[in-house]
Amino acid sequence: MDLQRIVDMMGEAGRMSRKNYHLTLGGAIKAMEDLPPATVVRYDYSTAGPTHPHSYRGYYSDLAFESGEGVTVEQFRKECQSALDTTFEGYKGGDFLMGADTPLWNSGYGTSNGGRAIIGLSIVGDFVVLTTREVD
């Protein structure tokens, strides 16, 4: 058994546990299907929204989004769809395939502390809001 396969198996075990409280990549795509495309998406703690998907340094098998301004439902949905079934390289190496069950995070590239789990998506007023939670 090669090292990458072992890493993949370990990542999958953790991912299955985290998907119980995280919004997943597939869940985000599904939740945005019927939302108005021009609606601005933002995090619950900021006016910033999700941009630049990458492998999360805290759990390389998970997907993180950085924070940026003026992100619409259409832009976020496209980023999520382009990440689905795509392999991302971990911060320190390794290849990680992002699937429908992949948990989502808000974190800068290469940052593992201070990451916020994305746990939900809802409409609040004129915005689509990503609910987050700090996770130890």
Pairing of strands 95-98, 86-89: antiparallel
- CA–CA dist 22, 71 (Å, integer): 21
- CA–CA dist 36, 113 (Å, integer): 33
Taking the CB of residue 27, how many other CB atoms lie within 10 A of it? 20
Residue 124, domain extent = 3-134
Q: Can you give the pLDDT at residue 115?
A: 75
β-sheet bridge partners, residue 128: 41, 123
Q: Can you give the pLDDT at residue 28?
A: 97
Domain total in the chain: 1
Q: Can you give the pLDDT at residue 17?
A: 58
Q: Can you give the pLDDT at residue 110?
A: 86
Separation in Å, CA 55 to CA 37, 45, 112: 26, 22, 11
- Long-range contacts from 49-55, C-beta under 8 angstroms, 24+ separation: 49/76, 49/130, 50/76, 50/79, 50/106, 50/118, 50/130, 51/79, 52/109, 53/79, 53/80, 53/82, 53/83, 53/88, 53/98, 54/88, 54/109, 55/88, 55/89, 55/90, 55/91, 55/96
Q: Can you give the pLDDT at residue 4?
A: 66
Would you say 58 and 115 are in contact if contact means Cβ atoms under 8 Å apart? yes
* Positions of the chain with pLDDT under 70: 1-20, 113-114, 136
Q: Can you give the pLDDT at residue 105?
A: 94
